[in-house]
Structure 1
Amino acid sequence: MPVPVVKHTLPYPDCFDPTLDRPVTLMARDLDSREYLRPHTHPWGQLTHALDGVLRVTAADSTWIVPPSRAVWIAPGIVHSVTVLQATRLRPVRILAARAPFPGEACRVLEVSDLLRELILALEQLPPLEPSARATMLTELMLDELARSETRPIRVPMPRDKRLQSLCGRLIDTPGAPQTLADWAQEVGASERTLARLFEKELGMSFGQWRQQVRLAHAAPMIAGGMPLARVADELGYASQSAFSQMFRKTFGCTPSSFFARR
C-alpha cells in the first residue's frame, strides 16, 4: 500500500516575516517523509534549505531534487511547492525583497558552503525579529556569501500538457523506470510521435534528454549520502557504473564524485 502524502501549507507566524530592521529571518521546521507543502507564494525571497534529508522543490515550471549540500533560491512572488522525500530539518531563510541577493525572478540551485551552513545555524539561534548587532552582522555576511555562492545546473523543466504531466510525474517518482517513449504513449493515451513533439515544444529537449536530467537530479542525494556509484547507476536504470559515469562526465565535464563532493 502506498504511503499517504500529508498535504498542508506551513502556518508561519507574522513575527518571522523579514523587515527593514531584520531583512533576513529564519523559522525552523522538522518534517516527516512524504509531507507536502501546497503551492504558495510570499512577498519575500526564500532560500529553501534542509540541514538533512531530501526535498523536491517545484517552482516556475521546473522541479529540483535538493540534498543538504544544495539549496534553492526562490525569488519573491514565485509560486512554489515542496515535497519531503526523506525526513528533514527544513530551514527556509526569508530575505526581504529589497535585499534579494539575485536579480530577476529566476530560481536557481546554490551550493551550500560550510560558511553558509554555519550562518544558517547561527541565524536559527536568534530571536525572530529582535534587532541586535549580532543579527546585523550575520545578515550582511549571509547576503554576501549567498551572492558568491556557486550555482548548479540541476534543473528539470515541467510541462503543461496533461498527458505529458502524467508521464513526467511518474518518471520523477521512479527515475529508473525502463519504459520507452512508445511504452509511455500507450499508458498516457497519446501517440509516440505526439509525445516526442510535445517534449520538444514544451520542454525544449527530447524524451531521452529530459529523462537524463531527472536521473541526474535524483543522483544528487544518493551520491551526497554516500551511496556507491554502482548502486546509484543500478537504481537509476543504467546498464553499468561506467555508463552512468560516462554520461555524467559528458554532461558536466567531471566525475560524479567530484561534482557532488562538499567543498
Structure 2
Amino acid sequence: MTSPALLDATLADVRLVDAIEHVHEADELTWVVAGACRIEIGAQRWRVDTETALLIPAGTVHRVVPRPDSIVFPLQLPPGTAQTPTPIARTPALETCARVLLQPGLAADDAVASARAAASTLLRSAGDACTPLPHDPRVRRLAQAILDAPAHPADLEELALRMHMSSRTVQRHFRRDTGMSFGTWRTDVRLAHGRELLERGESVAAAARAAGYRSTSAFVAAFRRRHGVTPGAVAVRD
C-alpha cells in the first residue's frame, strides 16, 4: 500500500507547466474545457475560456499560459480555415462539433470527418464576420466611426485627436481589447466591407474604392493575403 506521504510527494509533481510554446502544421482552434488560459502571439494577447475559443493559422508560433485549473485542447482543422488569429464566440453548433472532435473514440469515422468540415465552415464564417471592438467608450466610438465609414481617409493621429486622446493610448486599447494593432483592425474592417460588396454584385474596382483603397491592385493584394483568394473569386458574376 502506498503511504500517504509518498502519495502526497508524487502528487506535488502533478501540475501544469507555467507556459509553453507550440506551433502546429494544421490550423488550430484552441478549446478550453475548464478554467482559462492566455495565448500570446508576438505582442498580442488573448484570453481563452469556456465562452471564447481562438482560431490560429497553421505555422503560427504561440505561447500558451494556462491557469492551474485549466483543461485546454488544440482542435486540428482543415487547411484554409484560419487566415489570422481570431477570437471566436462558442455557439451551440460549434460546441456540437467540438464534442465529437474531442472524443473521436466515441464517434463514427464519418461523424468525426463531418464535425471537422462543419467546424471549418462555421469558423470561416465567424472569422469573416467577427469584428471585435475596444472596451473603452471613446475608443469604441472611434472604432464604430470606422465601421460606419470604412473608406474615410483620416489617420490614427486625427481620429485620436477627435476623441481627445493620444494615438499611443488608442493603439494600446486596440491591442489589449481586440488582439490587433489599430492598422490591422482597420484593414480587416475594410476588407470585410469590400468582400460584402463583392458578394452583393459590385465590381472589384467599386469594392476597392468603397473599402478605402486608392488602387484596385492594392486592394487585390491585401484581399488575397487576408482571404487566400483574389476578389475575383468572390465577386458575383451574371
The structure with the larger Rg is 2
Which structure has more helix as a fraction of its residues? 2
- TM-score w.r.t. structure 2 length? 0.49
